[in-house]
Amino acid sequence: MEPNQMLSGKVVIVTGAAGAIGKAIAMHLAMDGARVAVADLRVDGAESVANDIRAAGGDAWATSVDVTRDDGPSTMVDAVVGHFGRLDAMIANAGILTINPILDMPVAEWDRTFSVNTRGVFLCFQAAARHLVKQDQGGRLIATASIAAKIGSPYQAHYQSSKSAILGLVRSAAWEFGPHGITVNCFCPGNVDTPMWELIDRERGGRMGKAPGELFKEVASRSPLGRTQVPGDIPPLVSFLVSDGSRAITGQSINVDNGVVMF
């Protein structure tokens, strides 16, 4: 596929880009013409995605990051600006999920979930915004939330809470960065056919007495579209949010979930 011009010249960081959804986003942004920093804790995975992008004719550079480290995201932003010369958008996508009932949950598991899913997004937004404000040409801060931010699920109180908090961060950051021409949004994938959902199906489904595959099939059938969601469903929205065409959209949490959640 030849890159088109929609995001030509823009430099975008994608965290968690070695994972299922992050990889799909990074590939798509690059095919839309962005120069993509492929960032992940798993540097081999990031290198592999960057190689795939270059093999497809795109521009990508791999970098390691631990979004839970105080200086992780700022060091990453410095390295990306050093490599590409500028920054236009941050896609804070890294996230983790475990399954555990509240009654059994060690506080360390709660803290670890927030450290990656919420604090990690805050640190990525802060590091990117410090550069974008200095650069003074606007920009985009985008996070991967989840429909888990809007609905409850058993054994996922820590995950749901960590994703809900992203919506609060996005709404407040939109006010702080709007005067700089920087928009702040998040998107909410639904039940995407990925290793993360395999874990939910196995562990949550198992606790609910369901056979392997049963829970995933059930949630997929509960949507108006009745289709299975795949990682490739997510990136077109992200490309649009990065593009100049999304300039009037800020402070939003946009569902991309087959219509499972309608608010």
Is 68 one of the binding residues for ligand NAD (CB under 6 A)? yes
Q: Residue 143 has which token pair?
A: 């996070």
- What is the helix (H) or strand (E) element at residue 215, kind and residue range? helix 214-221
Rounded to 5°, angle at Cα 66 from 61 and 70: 120
Query: Binder to ligand NAD among 94, 141, 219, 237 (CB under 6 A)?
Result: 94
**C-beta of 32 vs 40, nearer to ligand NAD:** 40
242 binds ligand NAD (CB under 6 A): no
Is 155 labeled as catalytic in the residue annotation? Answer: no
Q: Which stretch binds ligand NAD (CB under 6 A): 1-9, 92-100, 172-180, 220-228?
A: 92-100
- Within 13 Å of residue 201, how many CA atoms lie on the same side as its CB? 18
Indicate the residue whose CB is closest to ligand NAD: 19
Which two structure tokens, joined as six digits, stand for 34? 């962005």
Query: Of the listed 134, 150, 159, 210, which one is catalytic?
Result: 159
Active-site residue, 163 included: yes
Q: How far is CA 74 from CA 66, 100, 210, 247, in A?
A: 11, 32, 43, 25
**Residue 89 — φ and ψ, nearest 5°?**
-150, 145
Cα of 30 vs its chain's centroid, Å: 16
Q: Which among 29-37, 66-74, 173-181, 235-243 is the span making contact with ligand NAD, rule CB under 6 A?
A: 66-74
Q: Which residues contact 96 (CB under 8 A, 6 or more apart)?
A: 112, 113, 116, 117
Interface with ligand NAD includes 50 (CB under 6 A)?
A: no
Q: Could you tell me which stretch among 20-28, 150-158, 178-186, 201-209 binds ligand NAD (CB under 6 A)?
A: 20-28
Output 32 or 66, the one with its CB closest to ligand NAD. 66
Residue 96 touches ligand NAD, criterion: CB under 6 A: yes
Q: Which amino acid is at 214?
A: E
DSSP labels for 35-88? EEEEEES-HHHHHHHHHHHHHTT-EEEEEE--TTSTTHHHHHHHHHHHHHS---
d(CA 91, CA 137) in angstroms, rounded, equals: 18
Contact between 144 and ligand NAD per CB under 6 A: yes
Rank residues 144 and 258 by Cβ distance to ligand NAD and give the closer one.
144
When asked if residue 15 is in the footprint of ligand NAD (CB under 6 A), the reply is: yes
Active-site residue list = 159, 163
List of residues contacting ligand NAD (CB under 6 A):
15-16, 18-22, 40-42, 45, 65-68, 93-97, 116, 144, 146, 189, 191-192, 194-197
